[in-house]
Structure 1
Amino acid sequence: MNLTILIVMAVLTGVLGSPYVTDTDVTPGSDSAGMSAHPNSVPEAADGTEVFHEEGVVEEEGVEEDVMATGELNPSHYPAQRAANVVKHYLNTRYGSPYRWVGLHKVHSANAEEVAESGRKYHLEISVQEMTGNTTEKCSAEVLFPALENQRSPQVQASCEALLTANTTAQEEALYQQYRRNHTLLSGHNLPDSYGHIDPDMKPLWHLGGVASSFVMLKESTENTLYNMAQVANVTQLETENDQLRFNYHVLLHDMVSQEIIHWKLLVTWSPAEGVKVLQMEELPKCEHCEVPPKPN
C-alpha cells in the first residue's frame, strides 16, 4: 500500500509541480517581484529619489489607505507625503505669485502624534522647490489635522525663510503693468494642452492658477486626501477693480487617493502689493470620465 501511495504522489508532482513555492521562485522584474513592497510606498526612480510631477506631487495609480500610525513615519509613505503637501499649499497661500510657485521636492523625516481632543500632529523636515526659479530649500513644519468632529482645515506652522530671499518684485511689477495695459482682456484654456504644452506667454497664468488652487487644496485637505492641480481648464481676465487684477479660473484638481478629477471655479485677484487672494471658490459637478491631462514639458 505504501509503495502505491508513493508512486501516485510522484506522478502528481510531475504533472502539477511542487505544492511549495519559495521566494526564489519569483522572477526578478516580474509583477510578483514587487509584492513585498509597502502598498503606500512612493514610487522611486532608478537612482533612489522620489518621482515627482512638476508641482511636486507623487503620481501613483491605486493608492491604498494606510493605518494611521504615530511615532516615526516612513518619509516615502503616503501619510507623511499628505502632510508635507499640505505644507506646500500653505506656503503658496502665504507667499505665492505668478513668479513664486512652491512644489514639494522631498520629505526628509516625519513623525506623528495624537493630540488629545485636537487631532493628529505631524512634525516634518522637508525640501520645497520654487518652481519658477527652480531653487530648492529645506523647511521645518508642523501640520495639525483636526479631529473629525471638528471638520476644520489643517493648521500649519512652517519655517521657510529662504523662500523669501528670491526677489521677484521687478518681474511681478512688469507683468502687472502689462496686464493692466492690455486693450483686450486675456483668456486661455487647457493649460497644459493634450500634449503637455503651455505657451510661454500663458505660463504666468498657469502659475497663478496653481497658487490659487492651493487655497482650495489647503481648505479641503484631510489625512485621507492627496491633491494636485492637474490643469487650468479656462482662465479669463476681468475688469480691474481697486488696482487688483481679477481673473475667473476653472481648474481641475486630482485627488490621488480616490483618483477623482474635481472641478472648481475660482474668482482670483492679484497685485504685487496685495498678493494673491481667492475671493470665491465653488466646487462644480463631478466629471466621472475625465482623465488627468499630461504634465507640462
Structure 2
Amino acid sequence: MCVRIIVVLAVLTGITGSPNVTIRPEVDMPAHPNSVPETVEDAEIFGQQEVLEEEEAEEDVMATGELNPNHYPAQRAAKVVQHYLNTRYGSPYRLFGLQRVHSGNAEDVADSGRKYQLEISVQEMISNATAKCSAEVFFAMGEQQRSAQVQASCEELLKIDTKAQEEAFYQQYKMNQSLLPAQNLPDSYGHIEPDMKPLWHLGTVASSFVMLNESTENTLYNMAQVANITQLPTENDQLKFDYHILLHEMVSQEIIHWKLLFTWSPAGGVKVLHMEQLPHCHDCEKPINTK
C-alpha cells in the first residue's frame, strides 16, 4: 500500500521514472542485434503503468531467492553473461547476445556480495545458432568498483567454426596499406554496409570489456554506435584499432562515450590495451537507435 501511494505521488508531482525502472526510448529503426529485449511492456493506461512500476520496485527490494526471469534483477545479471562471453570468445564473426532468461536465483553471500544462478538462452548473432547455458554471476559489495565475476557453460555455441572468415578478414586488413578509417556504424539511417559489419562486430566485442567492467546490479548496458574507427599500423602480427564507441545505459538513459585502443588476431583474440571514458558531449547528436 505504501509503495502504491509513493508511485501515485511521484506521478502527480511530475516524476517520470525511478533509478530502478527503465523507460523505453523511442526507436526509429529495428533494434540492433546486440540490443536487450525490453522487460517492461509499454502501458498506455495510467493504472497499468502504476502496477508495473510497483511490481518492479518490489522486485528490486526482494532481489534474493527465486527471481522473475522477465524482471530487471535477473535480466541485468544475464546481460553481464553476454558481455563475459564476448570478451572470452567474441570475434568479427562470432558475437553473442542474450535471447532469454529461463530462471534465476539470487542469494546474499555473507557480507561480500550477491550471487546469481541463471539458466539462459544465448544466441550467436551471426549464425543465429542458439543454445541454453548455465551461468553464475557474483557482484561484490563495497564502495570500490569491481568487475562482476562470471562463470558460464555454453559449449554448444563455442563449436561454431569461424576460422576461415576470421583468417580472410585478418589478411585483408593486415595488408591494408592505406589503413582503414570509418565512422558512424550504423549511419543516420540505421544502415551498416556489409563489408563494415565485421568491424561493427569487432567494436561490439571490444565494448563488452567496458560493459563487463562497468556493470553492477543497478545498470543495463547496450552498445549503441561506433562513432569512429582508426586502424593503426599492425604490431607483432596483431591488427590494432582505435575506436570511439557510444554505450547506452538504459537505467539512467545516458549515452556514454568511450575511447578503446585494442588489438585483434585470430589466434590472440581481442586484447584491450586502453579504455577511457570521454567527457560528456552536450552538443553531440545521439545515435539513431536512441532518443
The TM tier, using the shorter chain, reads 0.7 to 0.9
Per-residue deviation, 1:288: 4.2
Asked if the contact 1:57–1:104 (Cα under 8 Å) also holds between the matched residues in 2, the reply is yes
**Secondary structure of the corresponding residue to residue 194 of structure 1:** coil
Asked if the contact 1:87–1:156 (Cα under 8 Å) also holds between the matched residues in 2, the reply is yes
| 1:123 is aligned to 2:102 | no
The residue identity in structure 2 corresponding to 1:246 is: K
- The residue that corresponds to 1:88 in the other structure is 82
Aligned pairs for 1:99-138 (under 5 A) are 99-138=93-132
Aligned pairs for 1:129-168 (under 5 A) are 129-168=123-162
Going from structure 1 to structure 2, the CA distance change for 1:148 and 1:179 (only over 3 Å counts) comes to same
- The residue that corresponds to 2:268 in the other structure is 274
Asked if the contact 1:251–1:263 (Cα under 8 Å) also holds between the matched residues in 2, the reply is yes
The residue identity in structure 1 corresponding to 2:198 is: P
Q: Flag the structure with more relative contact order, 1 or 2, with Cα contacts below 8 A and sequence separation at least 6.
A: 2
More moved, 94-103 vs 283-292:
283-292
- The residue that corresponds to 2:16 in the other structure is none
| 1:264 is aligned to 2:243 | no
| 1:201 is aligned to 2:180 | no
Going from structure 1 to structure 2, the CA distance change for 1:142 and 1:261 (only over 3 Å counts) comes to same
- Could you state the TM-score of these two structures normalised by the residue count of structure 2? 0.81
Aligned pairs for 1:49-60 (under 5 A) are 53-59=32-38
- The residue that corresponds to 1:226 in the other structure is 220
Going from structure 1 to structure 2, the CA distance change for 1:257 and 1:68 (only over 3 Å counts) comes to farther
Going from structure 1 to structure 2, the CA distance change for 1:284 and 1:156 (only over 3 Å counts) comes to same
- The residue that corresponds to 2:164 in the other structure is 170
The residue identity in structure 2 corresponding to 1:100 is: R
Name the CA distance, whole Å, in 1 between partners of 2:289 and 2:127.
Answer: 22
Asked if the contact 1:144–1:156 (Cα under 8 Å) also holds between the matched residues in 2, the reply is yes
- The residue that corresponds to 2:8 in the other structure is none
More moved, 256-265 vs 175-184:
175-184
Name the CA distance, whole Å, in 1 between partners of 2:210 and 2:240.
Answer: 17
| 1:73 is aligned to 2:58 | no
Unpaired runs of 5+ in structure 2? 1-19, 25-29, 43-48
Q: Deviations for 1:236-282, whole angstroms, at most 9, x for unmatched residues? A: 11000000000000000000000000000000100001011111000
The residue identity in structure 2 corresponding to 1:176 is: Y
Unpaired runs of 5+ in structure 1? 1-38, 44-50
Aligned pairs for 1:18-29 (under 5 A) are none
The residue identity in structure 1 corresponding to 2:227 is: A
Q: Deviations for 1:67-111, whole angstroms, at most 9, x for unmatched residues? A: 252111111111111000000000000001000011110001011
CA RMSD of aligned residues (A): 2.3
Per-residue deviation, 1:287: 2.9
Asked if the contact 1:96–1:211 (Cα under 8 Å) also holds between the matched residues in 2, the reply is yes
Q: Please identify the structure whose Cα radius of gyration is greater.
A: 1
Going from structure 1 to structure 2, the CA distance change for 1:174 and 1:285 (only over 3 Å counts) comes to same
**Secondary structure of the corresponding residue to residue 115 of structure 2:** strand
**Secondary structure of the corresponding residue to residue 266 of structure 1:** strand
How many residues align? The count is: 250
| 1:249 is aligned to 2:228 | no
